[in-house]
C-alpha cells in the first residue's frame, strides 16, 4: 500500500452497532487510526448502517408498502447517524462534515474524512469504491463481522469453504446480481462490478481484533479475503 495514498475503509455498521454501540471496538479503531495519522497516513471511512438500518427497514415494510427507494432512504439516514458518530469521536482530526459526494473530497484538508451515502441505490461498499476512484486509491478495505468470504453461506451450509484469494469474475458468481436495500452480502454487487472495472483490490476482513486491520495496512499476513484481477 503506497504511503501517500488515502486509505479507503468501508466500515460495516455491524462493527459500530452490533446491537448497542460497541465502545471497545470504536475505541480501538480510534486509537489505531490516530497512531497511523501521526505517521502521515490519511483515511476515508464510509460508515454502514448495519442492524440499525435493517431494523428500521424491516419495521417500515411491516407498517407500510414502502418502495425500494423509500427503504434506501431509511438506510441512508441510519448510516448517517453512524457516520456522524464516527466523525465526532475523531474530533479535530476529522473533516467537520460527513461527505456524501465523493467529488467534494478535493475540498477536504483533514487527515480523516467520514463519508456517507448520497442517494438510493448507493450502498456503503459502492460509496467506498466511488471515493477510491475519486482519490486514485488502488485498494478498498471492507471491515465487517465476518472473517472470510465463503463459497456459500456458512450459516446455512456447514460445508462452506473459506476463500482467501479470488478474482472479481469468480466472486461475482457467488453473490446476488442485484442490489436491494438491506442486502447482507460480503460486498455489494454494484460495488463489485465497479471495483472490477477500476481494477481495485478489495480486502474483506473482520474488524476485530484491530490488529487484523493493522497487519493488512502494514503489509504483513492478515486473516481475510482478497479480491482482485
Using the predicted structure, report yes or no on whether residue 182 has a pLDDT greater than 80.
Answer: no
Note whether residue 1 is domain-resident: no
Rounded mean pLDDT, 111-131: 88
Contact 76, 57 (CB under 8 A): no
**Please, which pLDDT band fits residue 2 given cuts at 50, 70 and 90?**
very low
Note whether residue 114 is domain-resident: yes
Note whether residue 140 is domain-resident: yes
Task: State pTM to two decimals.
Answer: 0.91
Q: Find the CATH number of the domain harbouring 151.
A: 3.40.1160.10
Average pLDDT for the chain: 90
pLDDT tens for residues 23-50?
Answer: 999 999 999 999 999 999 999 999 988 8
**Which residue range(s) make up the domain with 48?**
6-227
Grid coordinates representing 170? Answer: 469468480
Note whether residue 130 is domain-resident: yes
The residue that leads in pLDDT, 173 or 2, is: 173
Using the predicted structure, report yes or no on whether residue 22 has a pLDDT greater than 90.
Answer: yes
Percent of the chain scored above 90 by pLDDT? 64
Rounded mean pLDDT, 110-124: 86
Q: Please give the Cα distance from 175 to 192 (Å, whole number).
A: 9
Note whether residue 118 is domain-resident: yes
End-to-end CA distance of the chain: 16
Note whether residue 85 is domain-resident: yes
The pLDDT of residue 3: 46
Note whether residue 17 is domain-resident: yes
Domain tally for the chain? 1
- Sheet containing strand 201-206, edge to edge, reads 112-115, 42-47, 6-11, 139-144, 201-206, 225-227, 165-166
Note whether residue 115 is domain-resident: yes
Query: Residue 36: which residues within 8 A CB-CB, separation 6 or more?
Result: 43, 217
Amino acid at each position: 500500500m503506497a504511503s501517500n495514498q488515502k486509505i479507503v475503509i468501508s466500515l460495516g455498521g455491524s462493527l459500530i452497532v452490533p446491537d448497542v454501540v460497541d465502545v471497545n471496538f470504536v475505541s480501538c479503531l480510534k486509537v489505531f487510526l490516530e497512531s497511523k495519522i501521526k505517521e502521515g497516513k490519511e483515511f476515508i471511512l464510509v460508515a454502514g448502517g448495519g442492524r440499525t438500518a435493517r431494523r428500521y427497514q424491516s419495521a417500515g415494510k411491516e407498517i407500510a408498502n414502502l418502495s425500494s427507494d423509500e427503504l434506501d432512504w431509511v438506510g441512508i439516514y441510519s448510516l448517517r447517524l453512524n457516520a456522524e458518530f464516527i466523525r465526532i469521536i475523531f474530533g479535530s482530526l476529522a473533516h467537520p462534515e460527513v461527505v456524501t459526494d465523493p467529488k467534494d473530497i478535493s475540498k477536504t484538508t483533514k487527515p480523516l474524512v467520514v463519508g456517507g451515502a448520497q442517494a438510493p441505490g448507493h450502498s456503503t461498499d459502492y460509496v467506498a469504491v466511488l471515493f477510491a476512484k475519486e482519490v486514485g486509491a488502488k485498494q478498498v478495505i471492507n471491515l465487517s463481522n465476518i472473517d472470510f468470504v465463503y463459497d456459500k453461506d456458512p450459516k446455512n451450509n456447514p460445508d462452506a469453504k473459506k476463500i482467501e484469494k479470488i478474482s472479481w469474475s469468480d466472486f461475482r458468481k457467488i453473490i446476488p446480481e442485484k442490489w436491494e436495500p438491506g442486502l447482507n452480502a460480503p460486498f455489494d454487487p454494484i460495488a463489485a462490478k465497479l471495483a472490477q472495472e477500476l481494477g481495485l483490490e478489495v480486502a474483506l476482513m473482520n474488524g476485530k481484533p484491530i490488529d487484523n486491520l493493522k497487519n493488512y495496512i502494514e503489509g504483513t499476513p492478515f486473516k481475510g479475503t482478497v479480491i482482485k484481477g
